[in-house]
Structure 1
Amino acid sequence: MLRAVSGRARPVGTITRGTTNPNRLRRCDRWLAGPQAWRLRRSPTRPIVVDLGYGSSPVTAVELHGRMRRVRHDVHVVGLEIDPDRVAVAKPLERDGLAFRRGGFEIPLRDGARPTVVRAFNVLRQYGEAEVPAAWARVQERLAPGGLLVDGTCDEIGRRATWVAVDATGPVSLTLSLRLGGLARPSDVAERLPKALIHRNVAGERIHAFLAELDEAWARSAPHSSWGARQRFLASAADVGERWPLLDGPARWRLGEITVAWEAVAPRH
């Protein structure tokens, strides 16, 4: 159950461990500035992008601001944290288009504004699986038309990342993003699956089948290693795409990124 913490503002949620590193979320930011950039460009008003639960350092919100400004110069990025001390540390970094506030899943923005994008990375990983739908629903209620919640997880330096894209109708897709250099097999990303899937990587579940097929395609594509890991991953993704509903193509696969429709990997109930 999501809880409101004590205090006058009563943010919804609990304080995260707060671990963060510079450039940790670059893979997701690259996706937001790439195939999802249309959401910012089509906003009829100044788009708001929220970095929900940015952690003990505001660096990810600062980086997000810089990257989203390349998509639309008037974007407004808001870093939200439940811990007031973390907000106080971040406040001196505020500038035009970048602000920090205390808040949680209720997404408290001034004048009832609604965000175009909410990026919540390594936040729900610290909650129970049963709490995920309620957290998603809280944020969905606050999204602007055409808005998106990105619920993701990554390793400490951003070499492996996964995220679920959730719009007003529900979860839409799952993206895996991998550093290809030194990759043993694609399923190594399994330990970084979002909370909605991490406990579902077992026989009989769709996500387990998807990762297994990706590994098999990776093995079959071994001859492409002569031209590098990128070419091997391209061949692997094309192979998997013959049987699974992938939502992207070679331009993203070249980056070690692959996106599959949510219904193909969603948990069985």
Structure 2
Amino acid sequence: MTRGTTNPNRLRRVDRWLAGPAAPALRRAADPLVVDLGYGASPITAVELHRRLVPVRADVDVVGIEIDPGRVAVAKPLERPGLSFRVGGFELPLGGRRPVLVRAFNVLRQYAEPEVGPAWDLVRSRLAPGGLLVDGTCDEIGRRSTWVAVSAGQGPVSLTVSLRLGGLECPSDVAERLPKALIHRNVPGERVHAYLNALDSAWARNAALGSFGVRQRWLATVAAMKTEGWPVLDGPRRWRLGEITVRWDAVRPAGNA
């Protein structure tokens, strides 16, 4: 069982991504089933997820899954069409239904690194074809957030960093919020360490653009990363939100296929 701490609007950054780049998977799904896995002591994140995905797919069905029966009992009065809660874990007890999206935030952070791969594989085995597991971490109020997109067929495919740009000193401040698969790899010789260093360097080189606003500085920073050959997957529309997404190969742990 996770600590369960959460706050309203804490997961807005990843929800914005699920309703953006990940939305095509939901739109084309035969069964628009989405899981909020390990939602914590309060069901607010599942309630918010449902609200944010309804504009993408009006018939979306969000299921909050928690390992603690007491937490599920607290959430049950909030059930309504398209939103329900049940007891379970990574096995996703959904009666044979296969979700197209699974959001697991601040869950695997509390596990040991060797447990991450098996947890990913278990969830992947339950996903619908073309489905995604989004495994991420954020700070207490959602200003700094990172997540790995793990596809049903390919495994991990990308890492996203999403930051509140106001007050940002350097992008690598997000290091303490890296997903469990990467948080212990931010050391010399690892790809994620090189990536964060490159992001900091690009941020420093574009400091002069800060006079036009922090967003302009960030846009130039991400553009520089792309020019330098980092496999940036998104474009300026996402960058403006404080996001940058790169292919998993750019940051995967040394020794991992």
**Smaller-chain TM-score range?**
over 0.9
Report the counterpart of residue 166 of structure 1 in structure 2: 150
Structure 1: how far apart are the matches of 2:109 and 2:21? 25
Q: 2:39 aligns with which of 54, 59, 66?
A: 54
Report the counterpart of residue 82 of structure 2 in structure 1: 97
Report the counterpart of residue 64 of structure 1 in structure 2: 49
Matched, 1:36 2:36: no
Report the counterpart of residue 135 of structure 2 in structure 1: 151
Matched, 1:234 2:219: yes
Report the counterpart of residue 129 of structure 1 in structure 2: 113
TM-score normalised by L of structure 1: 0.93
Give the gaps of 5 or more residues in structure 2.
none
Cα deviation for residue 44 of structure 1 reads 2.3
Deviations 1:149-195 (A, max 9, x none): 00000000000000000002110000000000000000000000000
Cα deviation for residue 35 of structure 1 reads 1.0
Deviations 1:26-68 (A, max 9, x none): 00000000111101111123x1100000000000000000001
Structure 1: how far apart are the matches of 2:22 and 2:35? 15
Structure 2: how far apart are the matches of 1:53 and 1:38? 24
The structure 1 segments of at least 4 consecutive aligned residues displaced by more than 2 Å after TM superposition are none
Structure 1: how far apart are the matches of 2:87 and 2:225? 43
Matched, 1:266 2:252: yes
Deviations 1:77-120 (A, max 9, x none): 0000000000000000000000000000000113x000000000
Report the counterpart of residue 86 of structure 1 in structure 2: 71
Percent identity between matched residues is 73
Q: 1:210 aligns with which of 195, 206, 227?
A: 195
Cα deviation for residue 225 of structure 1 reads 0.4
Matched, 1:195 2:174: no
Structure 2: how far apart are the matches of 1:261 and 1:40? 21
Structure 1: how far apart are the matches of 2:111 and 2:30? 35
The number of residue pairs the alignment matches comes to 253
TM-score normalised by L of structure 2: 0.98
Report the counterpart of residue 10 of structure 2 in structure 1: 24
Query: What is the CA RMSD across the aligned residues, in angstroms?
Result: 0.5
Secondary structure of 2:65 counterpart: strand
Report the counterpart of residue 118 of structure 1 in structure 2: 102
